[in-house]
Amino acid sequence: MGTFLITKNKNDQFQFVLKAVNGEVILSSEGYSSKANCTNGIESVKKNSQDDSKFEKLEAKDGRMYFNLKATNGQIIGSSQMYASASGRDSGIESVKKNAPEAQTKEDL
């Protein structure tokens, strides 16, 4: 089972990462103005990660692959790391789909 970790960034905004069982970060959020909004973002990931149409597969200018997970309203709720290949990116998506629904939430504030 994965873990959502809520932290505060340099700008005093809350953000979360989703870590796989092995501790690797598989999804990162943008900054949120409040902890409640950050928690809502986590709930949105749990829900939307089960819908393949919510994953946007992308390629950076340097050829590396990544993905965004979008909410029902089209807003990005999480972004992946960069991957060397499309198959790596697709494995990352599968890891989010597997880990997000039952992931526990922890805080490091």
In three state form, how does the secondary structure of 12-42 look? CCEEEEEECCCCCEEEECCCECCHHHHHHHH
Percentage of the chain surpassing pLDDT 90? 95
Q: What's this model's pTM, rounded to 2 decimal places?
A: 0.94
Domain assignment of residue 79, given as a range: 3-108
pLDDT in tens, 100-109: 999 999 999 8
CATH number at residue 101: 2.30.29.80
Structure tokens at 8: 């505060």
pLDDT in tens, 74-91: 999 999 999 999 999 999
Percentage of the chain surpassing pLDDT 70? 100
- Taken in order 15, 20, 24, 27, the sign of the CA dihedral is negative
C-alpha count within 13 angstroms, C-beta hemisphere, residue 34: 3
The total number of structural domains that make up the chain: 1
